[in-house]
Structure formats: structure tokens, C-alpha cells
């Protein structure tokens, strides 16, 4: 069952994406001020949220590796970090498209945007660290420590729009206005949809890393014969 789980997640994700397309373009109304371009929000928000969940996964798996020294936890860190960097990068790009229409600029040093960009650079550096030619145990220990320390910026990204003066909207925390009911249904569906995609990507990448480790161990055993 576990062998086909990525395929099941991919199938469910594909069906969910089809439903979400209808919700985004047919069910959810256009926002009064931004018009059609507002619909990028239904992609941008799930990308950002699942990027944060990816880095939270790195944090938890890093703790497990430090406590139990399980190599599988280290490979989960690598898989989640790769997916997280991809999703957060796409969140920054879609956010820039949103900003150009909403604020009239492609980029502004808003607290939410700035902390997100810093987070992306931190985890991109983490992936560079994972690519260094170091002994496996030493690299795993070093990456686990960095994976824990790097997570300090993740809660800051989440609360930055609430603790500092920010032009970035805090959608679900808004006391006035907020989303129309149809928009809420659509964004929740899109978050679930991207969650299936995220789980499939992380699981598949973890399996690839597991297989790569097994191949390396087999080659090492053959070279000793």
C-alpha cells in the first residue's frame, strides 16, 4: 500500500485540482477592486502555507534525527526542504504579481515579504549545505542543527503582518471585511488540494532518496568484495 501511496495522492490531487479550477474561475466571484487578477490569491496562499508546513516538517525531522540518529529522518528533512524552497519561491513570484496590481510595485520591503525572502535564502543555503561532500553522519548532524535554527524565521513570517505595520493583508484574521463565503470555500478547497500535492511530492522525493541510499550501500558492499 505504501508503495502506491504517491500515485494515489497524485490521482486525488489531480481530481482536486480539476474541482478547484471550477471553483476559482466559475464559483468564486471577482474581487471588486482587483478584478480577475485577484484569483492568483487562490494559488499564492496555499503555496505559502504549505511552504511553512514543509519547513515545520524539516524542524520536526531534525529533532528526531538529533534524538534517535535515524537516517530516514535526515532524508525526510532533505525532501521537505526541497519542496519547501520550491513552494516558497513560487509564493514569492505569485506574490509579486499580486503586488504589482494591488500596490502598484513589484516589490516592497514589507515585513511579511522581507521575512519570507530571508526564509527562502536561509533554506536555499540549507540545501547547499546538504550538497557538500561531508561524511554522512557529520553532515546529518550539522544539517539537523541548521534545520532547527533555521525554523526560527518561520513563525516570524507567519505573525509578521500582525505584529508590525504591514500592507500585506491578514486574510483570515481580518475583523472587518474579509472574504465572501464563496471565496472562503474556494481558498479552503485550494489549500486541501495543494496539501495532497505537497504530500505526494515529499513522499516521492523521500522514496527517491531512500532508494539512492540503498544503491550507494550496495555499491559500497560490492566494492569491498
Question: Residue 154: which H helix or E strand, with range?
Answer: helix 153-163
Q: What is the pLDDT of residue 123?
A: 96
User: Domain coordinates of the chain in residue numbers?
Assistant: 42-162+179-219
Q: What is the pLDDT of residue 166?
A: 59
- Overall pTM > 0.85: yes
Q: How do the pLDDT tens digits run along the chain, 225 residues long?
A: 566 777 777 788 788 888 898 999 888 888 777 777 888 889 999 999 999 999 999 999 999 999 998 889 999 999 999 999 999 999 999 988 888 877 788 888 888 888 899 999 999 999 999 998 888 889 999 999 999 999 998 988 878 766 766 556 655 555 544 677 888 899 999 999 999 889 988 998 999 999 988 888 788 777 765
Q: Which candidate, 118, 111, 97, places its Cα nearest to that of 40?
A: 97
Residue 150 CB partners (closer than 8 Å, separation 6+):
55, 58, 122, 123, 126
Q: What is the pLDDT of residue 177?
A: 47
Amino acid at each position: 500500500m505504501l508503495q502506491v501511496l504517491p500515485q494515489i495522492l497524485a490521482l486525488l490531487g489531480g481530481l482536486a485540482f480539476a474541482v478547484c479550477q471550477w471553483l476559482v474561475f466559475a464559483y468564486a466571484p471577482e474581487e471588486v477592486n482587483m478584478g480577475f487578477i485577484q484569483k492568483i490569491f487562490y494559488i499564492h496562499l496555499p503555496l505559502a502555507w504549505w511552504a511553512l508546513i514543509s519547513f515545520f516538517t524539516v524542524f520536526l525531522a531534525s529533532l528526531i534525527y538529533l534524538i534517535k540518529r535515524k537516517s530516514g529522518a535526515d532524508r525526510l528533512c532533505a525532501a521537505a526542504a526541497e519542496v519547501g524552497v520550491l513552494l516558497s519561491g513560487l509564493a514569492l513570484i505569485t506574490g509579486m504579481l499580486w503586488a504589482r496590481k494591488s500596490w502598484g510595485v513589484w516589490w516592497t520591503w514589507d515585513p511579511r515579504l522581507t521575512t519570507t525572502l530571508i526564509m527562502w535564502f536561509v533554506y536555499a543555503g540549507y540545501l547547499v549545505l546538504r550538497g557538500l561532500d561531508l561524511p554522512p553522519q557529520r553532515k546529518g548532524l550539522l544539517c539537523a542543527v541548521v534545520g532547527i535554527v533555521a525554523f526560527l524565521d518561520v513563525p516570524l513570517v507567519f505573525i509578521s503582518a500582525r505584529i508590525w505595520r504591514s500592507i500585506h493583508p491578514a486574510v483570515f484574521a481580518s475583523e472587518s471585511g474579509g472574504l465572501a463565503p464563496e471565496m472562503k470555500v474556494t481558498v479552503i478547497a485550494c489549500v486541501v488540494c495543494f496539501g495532497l500535492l505537497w504530500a505526494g511530492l515529499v513522499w516521492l522525493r523521500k522514496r527517491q532518496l531512500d532508494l539512492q541510499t540503498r544503491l550507494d550501500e550496495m555499491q559500497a558492499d560490492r566494492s569491498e568484495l
